[in-house]
Chain A
């Protein structure tokens, strides 16, 4: 083993230790190929460390080396909520003394709208503990995040056995998982809408590793894995005084289990100018099971387990190719095109619920997205330019759910250059991308919204509840909302080639 190889492996081992925690990875899909010319079509081109995730069958065509870099992603997705001219939940609901016509108590499923706007005053809520939660005052977009890029390609046995490793590790705040609700239940928490496929998903730690083999001059195959985590938390409590949580006794037990999601790929080069690839990426997700139990002095114990599903990435089938258009002694020009079909119809949101819960018309759609571009090499310099389009899997949000997502188009430009310093061969690269989320307007249909106060609501003394007629809701997305935005990304990388 050469000194350069030893140095690279040592750096690789150190970086790997730093990324011991890992999770499922929607981040890979958003960032695209951050180096080696992958751009927005990494499933068919850009052999390098990112191929470990996107297309491990390209690894035999990648240069052996270790790379480090920084990726910056900035999401600016604006959500505009339509104004409300009606539909408020009346103040009297806060008294908790309402029944329907049959005398059945109305459950505590909502609070007066005024409490959300202003908070509940102390003379209404003992202790005044219900703080204001104005609509969309706690959105989760507008963040700029940086990630460390770590990559490795190692030809253990020539082209026959090639190993790859690729990771994006958030710098700063590590993996966060914000299990917001996408319907009226969110009124009790942020009372805001959040971009469904961005926000906390952009903090997912992403680690992929795998191997590939070149079976013949034309054919290579690859198999890689992305780490998934399954967490379970058991929070047992003894409630000495429900009015004073300082006296709460709490016992927690947390388990973290890791599993892997496999990815398969095949690359076929029927001629010197054509490369075709097919990929299969299995479902990825981060599962958090939380068990809550509360024991009261009376002996009553209540327990429930809730499953949260974060960073869900569906089964995705990809394919496409790269066609060499021209070649000279010093230059090469090629065109790339790729398509991927994602089974978003199986999507589970952060509460493990299917979007079709409130009606089959709200079920997400499978999507076919595509990218096309060009690659140009001149000497030791390589350039890329890509365009992409990704339709949203989210159907019109006319009902209770408020999944925020948009069709998006992207453009990426990149360049890298190979050079030597003190006998060490290096490759420096930079890639930038802009993805535009097209404006989307959503209008609710009243009949599909949860009416949180029945029209026959009355007090226990038989008085009609003022404002009970028609729809009353604190669904933050009602009566409609719109969204649009931009995602900017940039990456710089430096690789040691050996």
Chain B
């Protein structure tokens, strides 16, 4: 029968029509009509006046120096091509910052005096089966005064947290508002402000900051009485604990918890999205300290540099609200700092004078008196130093 089946197959194959095949027709849209087709990288129409405005899209392909997404093209900072609104490219650690804008060059070598914005990047590992790496950004505004080799933060803002990885986590806007002026890093903090040294070291600079402690969603009693002693977090008192993260009425060991954002729930609210969705209110305690090293050298006269960030944190979730309702155990999982992925902090110098254009481009009003102004400042800082989702 095998022979017969072979003959039958051959006969069948010979007789088969070949004209009926699967096919996908072309869409009505064409390059230049402003509607991006999947096979097009972009389809951006020139300005209505017909002027030849540079928009990064040529013949429905990204132009050199540009990157396009969802039909919006932006300058690709770092590719060495100065296009669009870029003032320089690539960033050089001196007068061309990582946003490809020219910035003031420090007049004095290894001197931090002036207005700075910072993005602290840390890595942690999720405490669930996924064990995925979570990359977090913390943003700050600092005004620094340096005398000799010693510097101190004289004014500052905390400007939010974003975490990416298997899940995306963002400190809710009300949380940023509630925490902007907490854990102050200036000398008004009775436990100690942020200080450090910055000095010439060979061809470069040596930077080191003191360890600064933060608590979010908890009272200051959870912090060490003096930061200068640099105690480990484990030696401090326990964080508040909730008896039922889904039902606040069941209470818990919550005497030291607080509600800085005023949403009626203890802890600060973090919106979680991605593979799991919901909002969790948590109390967090951490410290960070910065230092230059061989992997993170700091050049003299540098207006932008990266230093190593050492970081430890603790977290307790006090309340969970699952987007899907009911319970969401994956949201209950926290994370612990990654031991093999050192963090980093990026310093960007804005200028010495608050009224200088480069400073005013970021800082709204005078930091401190107006929460609305400070929120606007924070928003600009996050835009200027966007979250870096790299996993190391």
Contacts and interface: CB of A to CB of B under 8 A. Distances in A.
B38 A300 contact: no
Interface residues of B, number: 51
Given A241-B129, A486-B17, A78 B38 contact: no
B5 A484 contact: no
A78 B323 contact: no
A402 to B, nearest CB: 13
A364 to B, nearest CB: 24
A92 B27 contact: no
Interface-centre pick from A77, A104, A108, A298 (highest chain B CB count, 10 A): A298
Contacts of B170: 97, 460
B4 A70 contact: yes
Nearest to A95: B168
Given A70-B8, A74-B12, A96-B274, A466 B23 contact: no
A490 B24 contact: no
A242 B1 contact: no
A298 B128 contact: yes
Contacts of A492: 4, 8
A78 B17 CA distance: 11
Contact of A144 (B16, B27, B29): B16
Contact of B16 (A91, A241, A488): A488
B29 A146 contact: no
Contacts of B27: 83-86
B132 interface: yes
Interface string A53-81: 00000000000000011111110111111
Interface stretch (A25-33, A110-118, A255-263, A370-378): A110-118
A146 B7 CA distance: 11
A236 interface: no
A296 interface: yes
Contacts of A144: 9, 12-13, 16
Contacts of B335: none
A104 B22 contact: no
B203 interface: no
A83 B131 contact: no
Interface in B17-74: 17, 20-29, 35-39, 69-72
A493 to B, nearest CB: 10
Interface string B188-205: 000000000000000000
Interface stretch (A134-142, A204-212, A214-222, A280-288): A134-142
A333 interface: no
B150 interface: no
A116 B24 CA distance: 14
B9 A72 contact: yes
Contact of A171 (B5, B278, B330, B333): B5
A460 B24 contact: no
Given A126-B391, A171-B5, A74 B13 contact: yes
Interface in A442-498: 460, 466-467, 484-486, 488, 490, 492
A148 interface: yes
Nearest to B29: A85
Contact of A88 (B26, B36, B69, B332): B36
B21 A78 contact: yes
A99 B271 CA distance: 11
B333 A298 contact: yes
A395 interface: no
A88 to B, nearest CB: 6
Contact of B25 (A80, A114, A467): A80
Contacts of B154: none
A410 interface: no
A72 B35 contact: no
B339 interface: no
Contacts of A126: 391
A297 interface: yes
Contact of A83 (B12, B24, B277): B24
A466 B71 contact: yes
A85 B5 contact: no
A86 B35 contact: yes
Contacts of B71: 466-467
A105 interface: yes
Interface in A340-373: none
B329 interface: yes
A230 interface: no
Nearest to B324: A107
A490 B21 CA distance: 22
A240 interface: yes
Given A114-B38, A117-B38, A118-B38, A83 B129 contact: no
B181 to A, nearest CB: 22
Contact of A70 (B1, B70, B391): B1
B235 interface: no
A90 B37 CA distance: 11
Given A117-B39, A466-B71, A72 B8 contact: yes
B295 interface: no
A135 B11 contact: no
Contacts of A139: 22
B20 A484 contact: yes
B129 A298 contact: yes
Contacts of A467: 70-71
Interface in B130-170: 130-132, 166, 168, 170
Contact of A113 (B38, B329, B391): B38
A84 B273 CA distance: 30
Given A146-B9, A148-B1, A97 B128 contact: no
B275 interface: yes
Contact of B20 (A78, A95, A171): A78
A196 to B, nearest CB: 15
B20 A77 contact: yes
A183 B315 CA distance: 43
Contacts of A330: none
B229 interface: no
B1 A68 contact: yes
A80 B12 contact: no
Nearest to A113: B38
A76 B22 contact: no
A68 B278 CA distance: 64
Interface string B258-275: 000000000000010111
11 contacts: A72-B9, A84-B27, A86-B29, A96-B275, A99-B273, A144-B12, A144-B16, A146-B9, A148-B1, A241-B131, A488-B15
Given A134-B24, A136-B22, A136-B23, 6 more contacts: A73-B12, A104-B323, A105-B278, A144-B9, A144-B12, A467-B71
Interface of B: 1, 4-5, 8-9, 11-13, 15-17, 20-29, 35-39, 69-72, 127-132, 166, 168, 170, 271, 273-275, 277-278, 323, 329-330, 332-333, 391
Which 9 residue pairs across A and B have the least CB separation, nearest first? A83-B27, A78-B20, A117-B38, A105-B277, A85-B29, A85-B27, A296-B129, A96-B274, A242-B130
